[in-house]
């Protein structure tokens, strides 16, 4: 399992040709207490960089972008009722969606963990 990151603070955990997507721990810390999340529908297709979900906190609303092009094959159905999972375990139980990759070549434009940590100054 390989994890990639975007400059918009999304992570993508790749297993085969399907990726689990969510926001990083850094992103949830910047947002503060998450109070609402809007997820895409299963079967929806997105191009890389398109708005795929919305997350709202007590501080701000933020778009979550598709880190790669592909089709949504699963969503975290527990999140709308328990958006606090995003704060509690953003890179675990707080995942947003699973995307079946349309083009694995797009992964080359994403960051590995070391590059992401450098981006956030960690």
Domain borders along the chain are: 2-114
> Residue 109's pLDDT is what?
96
Work out the average pLDDT over 75-81. 96
Model confidence pLDDT, tens digit, residues 22-56: 999 999 999 999 999 999 999 999 999 999 999 99
Q: What percent of the chain has pLDDT over 90?
A: 97
Smallest CA-to-CA distance from 35 within 6, 8, 62 is with 62
Please provide the average confidence, as pLDDT, over all residues in the chain.
96
> Residue 1's pLDDT is what?
82
Task: Say which residues have a Cβ less than 8 Å from residue 64's Cβ, sequence separation at least 6.
Answer: 8, 10, 21, 22, 23, 51, 52, 53, 54, 55, 96
pTM for this entry:
0.95
Model confidence pLDDT, tens digit, residues 102-114: 999 999 999 999 9
> Residue 113's pLDDT is what?
96
Task: Report the CATH number of the 2-114 domain.
Answer: 2.40.50.100
């Amino acid at each position: 399992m390989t994890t990639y990151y975007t400059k918009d603070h999304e992570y993508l955990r790749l297993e085969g040709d399907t990726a689990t997507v969510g926001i990083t721990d850094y992103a949830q810390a910047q947002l503060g207490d998450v109070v609402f999340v809007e997820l895409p529908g299963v079967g929806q297709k997105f191009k890389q960089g398109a708005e795929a979900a919305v997350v709202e906190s007590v501080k701000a609303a933020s778009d979550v972008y598709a880190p790669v092009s592909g089709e949504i094959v699963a969503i975290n159905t527990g999140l709308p009722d328990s958006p606090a999972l995003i704060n509690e375990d953003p890179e675990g139980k707080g995942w947003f969606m699973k995307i079946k990759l349309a083009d694995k070549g797009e992964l080359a434009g994403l960051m590995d963990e070391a590059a992401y940590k450098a981006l956030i100054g960690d």
